[in-house]
Amino acid sequence: MIRSIEWAGDRVRFIDQTKLPTEEMYIETDRPSVLAEAITSLKIRGAPALGVAAAYGLVLGLQHSKAEGWEKLTKSFEETASMLQSTRPTAVNLSWAIERMRARLRQIHQSWGLVSANQSECNSPRDIVGCLLDEAKAIHREDEEMCAAIGRYGNDLVPQRAAILTHCNTGALATGGEGTAQAIITTAAAQGKNISVYADETRPLLQGARLTAWELQKQRIAVTLITDNAAAFVMKRKKIDLVVVGADRIAANGDTANKIGTYNVAIIAKEHGIPFYVAAPTSTIDVSLLHGEMIPIEERQANEVTEGFGTRSAPYGVNVFNPAFDITPGGLITAIVTERGVLRPPYAVSISETMKGALLKTSLGKDV
Ligand code: MRU
């Protein structure tokens, strides 16, 4: 399995996803600003991977900080947090990870006197970096476990022989583990099921073509690349059994933000009577937002559409609207596969049940 991002001693190592599939290049950095730029430019991408990256980025920030004393340390932490926070607005995993790291920092602060008296860890700025690193590693490890659980739950929805259509990239590249939607595919294949995948190329940045096709080929899973606008025809002709996609943020009613084009796929799946599944860890569910219209949608630069990958394909000066994500209404989603099980409509009820008592917890197991 590809490790899209990992902690390497005193730095972060990640694969530059913009270079794939032609070049497998890794970047190492100990600077949070380099990590933030990597997120903005999609060298690191995919909602769960963004959460892992943000957590490590906060560690890098404090590692460099010369701040002493709580006030200065927390100020330094917040500076890095706001830099990372401003990179990409839609995937909630990023702010979720920042909030969890902030909560861990607060816990350290609260137990400062106690911890010092016990001669335990976390009683000097150097220890704080170590303690936050442990938290970031826990976020990474838990993401890996969540991916595996999603794979297991999702596998129950996959028939013995299945043609699966997917959109964007939801594999190891996009997460801290083996993926979300893609973990369902790989788990089903590993169980000996006869799986073939139709991967939407995913305009304009081609995550399906560059990343999903690359990952599935590496895993020796049969994959056929299609243009986004072939999906309806493929559903009709190739007898797609199910669609499974990832998510960047799921509102309390099940409305789901995912890569632009997902909504189209959900509509045409319904037209053809094909089940449409969303796979995501509960860290992608944002119960503070009642419905999808409240989810912030990132708009990206026009040149991704007019001269993608360096080739001019539209006249200079043309107006462009380039939303990176869209919202699929919960009503079009057959089920949401999480690490806690498969949620069914009505999502306002199943999400609320699943998230009950699932407040943000740090690795100490405490609610915050
Ligand atoms: O813009 P991207 O490439 O970060 O968008 C990624 C997606 O939309 C994925 O489907 C989503 O983050 C889920 S990844 C497991």
pLDDT above 90 (res 118): no
SS3 (DSSP) at 350: helix
- 5-148 architecture in CATH? Up-down Bundle (1.20)
Atom of ligand 1 nearest to the CA of 245: 10
Atom of ligand 1 nearest to the CA of 167: 10
pLDDT (0 to 100) of residue 324? 98
Q: Are 325 and 256 in contact (CB under 8 A)?
A: no
Whether 258 lines ligand 1, by a CB cut-off of 6 Å, is yes
Q: In what order do the strands lie in the sheet with 285-286?
A: 285-286, 249-251, 256-259, 325-328
pLDDT (0 to 100) of residue 239? 84
- Give per-residue pLDDT as tens, 274-284: 999 999 999 99
114 falls in which pLDDT band (50, 70, 90)? low
pLDDT above 80 (res 122): no
Tell me the average pLDDT across 200-218. 98
User: How far does residue 313's CA lie from ligand 1's centre (Å)?
Assistant: 25
CA–CA separation, 279 and 147 (whole Å): 9
Whether 259 lines ligand 1, by a CB cut-off of 6 Å, is yes
67 falls in which pLDDT band (50, 70, 90)? confident
pLDDT (0 to 100) of residue 117? 47
List b or e across 161-173, with b for residues whose CB sees 16 or more CB atoms inside 10 angstroms: ebbbbbbbbbbbb
Q: Which of 103-107, 230-234, 304-308 has the lowest mean pLDDT?
A: 103-107
Which member of 248, 255, 286, 326 is catalytic?
A: 248
- Give per-residue pLDDT as tens, 213-265: 999 999 999 999 999 999 999 999 978 999 999 999 999 999 999 999 999 99
Is the peptide bond preceding residue 204 cis, with omega within 30 degrees of 0?
A: yes
- Is residue 10 part of the annotated active site? The answer reads no
Test site for ligand 1: of 259, 265, 337, most ligand atoms within 8 A of the Cβ? 259
Q: Is 360 or 9 the better-scoring residue by pLDDT?
A: 9
Instruction: Delimit the domains of the chain by residue range.
Output: 5-148, 157-364
**Rounded to the nearest 5°, which phi and psi values hold at 176?**
-90, 0
Whether 170 lines ligand 1, by a CB cut-off of 6 Å, is yes
pLDDT above 80 (res 351): yes
For 162, the token pair is: 């299945």
What is the CA angle 350-356-358, rounded to 5? 120
Q: Are 20 and 211 in contact (CB under 8 A)?
A: yes
User: How far does residue 302's CA lie from ligand 1's centre (Å)?
Assistant: 19
CATH code of 157-364, in short, is 3.40.50.10470
User: How far does residue 247's CA lie from ligand 1's centre (Å)?
Assistant: 7
pLDDT (0 to 100) of residue 100? 97
Question: In this prediction, what percent of the chain has a pLDDT beyond 90?
Answer: 87
Whether 84 lines ligand 1, by a CB cut-off of 6 Å, is no
Whether 248 lines ligand 1, by a CB cut-off of 6 Å, is yes
Helix locations, 180-296, DSSP H: 181-190, 207, 213-218, 231-238, 262-271
**pTM of the complete model:** 0.95
Tell me the average pLDDT across 313-333. 98
